[in-house]
Amino acid sequence: MALDFVLTRRQMVALAAAYSTVQTVELLLNGRSLGERSFDRKITTDGREYLETTEPTGDDKTVTGGPFPGSYTSPHGSAGKLHLTWEVPFEPGELVAVAKRGGAEVARDVLRTAGEATEVRLSREDVGALSFVTAGVVDPAGVPVPSAEHELTFTVTGGDLLGTDNGKQDSAENYRSATRKAFGGKALAIVPSGADVRAAMAAPARPSQTTVDASYSGSAEAVPANMIDGDPATAWSNHYVKEATGLLPAISAAHARDWVSISWPEPRAVEAVELTFSVDAAHAVPASIEVSRWDGTRFVPVRGQQGDPAATTRITFEPVTTDRLRIDVTSAQPGAENGFLGIGELRV
Ligand SMILES: [Ca+2]
């Protein structure tokens, strides 16, 4: 029995996936049931039973016939997924998956919203002459912080450090260095079994100037920095066009929502943001704008927000003292080719 989650957290909507060898799983968010989902029982071509949902997956355009055109065909002409999914509006707290057989719980897995990264916890697995020591960044309650990218430094006594890694495929860090950035909140040190390992976490560098970020950028030319370069002609944008491949058709479908954020080196009082949105064949003014401030642990919506979405708009709110704001924007035409969002300038 194995149960796990994949959580794509985009602050507002989480996609929870449960992988299970049990047919039925119930998902609960802060104690509220989000419903049960079940696999169907299917048979492989060599006669063995396995679990799969029955639904179009849209992952193979070369399939033009049968009951699920456009989807990879599983044995005996069906299609489906090997995991169960729920789309969950984001709220901080606890997400629990309960696997059930005949209505009785047989396994559960829990994901909790992490707070501020404050310490490193080590776990080790001995394999023959080697120890694989995993360093995990956690919050004060011990909850893993999957977004942590702190630099970790390993100190080894009673043996030599043999190597470090973090699972990031495009990392250019040296595998023999004692210092490694966390990826997904984790890094790994390999040492001779019996060696003692400690790990220290460097505080993330405070930005020395105003910085900006975004949940997603559609291309290398449309980066968040374009929002604060003083040039209205350059913009951050979530517009993308995925070229067609052998299996998948070209895709250019606007996200339902994205966010941008802005941070300063020191907290300051703010009471308004000014935004200029891109309006052209691909971009439209957003359907909604929501401003949140960082309270030291999480983003919370500002109070008294006023101002309607427009090509150039000023959003005001009750004054707050903060070092970070986030602006959530939703598309007026989600899924369409002309519902993308672009911000030329963001002024606070
Ligand atoms: Ca600009």
Q: Which two tokens stand for residue 275?
A: 């935004």
Q: Which domains does the chain have, with CATH numbers?
A: 4-112 (2.60.40.10), 119-201 (2.60.40.10), 211-347 (2.60.120.260)
Neighbours of ion ligand 1 (CB under 5 A): 226, 229, 231, 234, 344
The tens place of each residue's pLDDT in the chain, 348 residues long, gives 344 555 554 444 556 676 778 899 999 999 999 999 999 999 999 999 999 999 999 889 899 988 999 999 998 889 999 888 887 777 778 889 899 998 999 988 888 888 888 999 999 999 999 999 999 999 888 988 888 889 999 999 999 999 999 998 888 889 999 999 999 899 999 999 999 999 999 876 666 789 999 988 999 899 999 999 999 999 999 999 988 888 888 889 999 999 999 999 889 999 999 999 999 999 999 999 999 999 877 889 999 999 999 999 999 999 999 999 999 999 999 999 999 999 999 999
* Centroid of ligand 1 to alpha carbon of 274 (angstroms): 13
Q: What is the predicted pLDDT for the residue at 163?
A: 96
User: Measuring CA to CA, how many Å separate 305 from each of 204, 212, 213, 289, 301?
Assistant: 31, 21, 22, 10, 9
> At CA 96, angle to CA 39 and CA 80, rounded to 5?
20
User: Measuring CA to CA, how many Å separate 336 from each of 21, 292, 332?
Assistant: 37, 27, 9
% helix / strand / coil in the chain, to the nearest 5? Answer: 0, 50, 50
Angstrom distance (rounded) from CA 283 to CA 8: 25
DSSP class of residue 205?
P
* Centroid of ligand 1 to alpha carbon of 106 (angstroms): 54
> Beta-carbon neighbour count of residue 310 at 10 Å?
14
Burial of 158-197, coded b for 16+ CB within 10 Å and e otherwise, reads eeebeebbbeeeeeebeeeeeebbbbbbbbbbbbeeebeb
| Chain mean position to CA 175 | 26
Q: What is the predicted pLDDT for the residue at 1?
A: 39
Residue 218, classified by CB atoms within 10 Å of its CB into exposed (0-12), middle (13-18) or buried (19+), is buried
* Centroid of ligand 1 to alpha carbon of 210 (angstroms): 14
* Centroid of ligand 1 to alpha carbon of 236 (angstroms): 8
